[in-house]
A = this chain, B = another copy of it.
Amino acid sequence: MRRKGHLIIVSGPSGVGKGTVCAEIMRQRPSLKLSISATTRPKRPHELSGESYFFYSMEEFQDLIDQNKLIEFAKVHGNFYGTPRDYVMDNLEKGEDVILEIDVQGAMQVKENLDEGVFIFLLPPRVKDLADRLHNRGTEGEEEIALRLKNSEGELANLHNYDYAVVNDEVEKCAETILHIIDAENQRIDASLMKKYREEYHD
């Protein structure tokens, strides 16, 4: 018997380094599955559907919403982004652990829509570091940064909805800690583990 996999939600405020940490997690353990988002934003020349994103037209995306085929979605700058339910659930059923990188609003939608998930909140070492990172990234203006910092305070208020908090101090160490959390979750005693051992010890 194989256990079901775990859905690992890696979330946190904008600028905390979710993308970098998830890339490092996948580098350290390529056997994990990274959830692929659905989007209506135009495909760029080098992109393939099913690699970084699943690309859909507005009509197709609306169908996904109507058929409840997304575990969360949002409209950002006029484009839809969402997490396809089938890709996640199929992998979990096969016993694969799935990493889902997602903002706090999306994570809270997943929590409402699914009965499962290990919710990990990434924290900057200090709020000041978050400001520095947003400045260094240089993709947001001053006003946008101020807004994001204000939002991040609100997002921190969601901490109690998560299972774990990990400070993203060093990206390698942060990814390692998340892998340890995944390892621990895989040893957690639940109905499926009980069943597995009962079968093994009585064969």
Q: Which residues of A line the B interface, CB within 8 A?
A: 120-121, 123, 126-127, 153, 156, 159-160, 162-166, 177, 179-181, 183-185, 187-189, 193-194, 197, 200-201
Contacts and interface: CB of A to CB of B under 8 A. Distances in A.
B193 A165 contact: yes
Given A183-B177, A184-B164, A184-B180, A189 B159 contact: yes
A188 B183 CA distance: 14
21 contacts: A121-B189, A126-B200, A126-B201, A127-B201, A153-B201, A156-B197, A159-B189, A159-B194, A159-B197, A160-B194, A162-B189, A163-B189, A164-B188, A165-B187, A165-B197, A177-B183, A177-B187, A181-B183, A181-B184, A183-B184, A184-B184
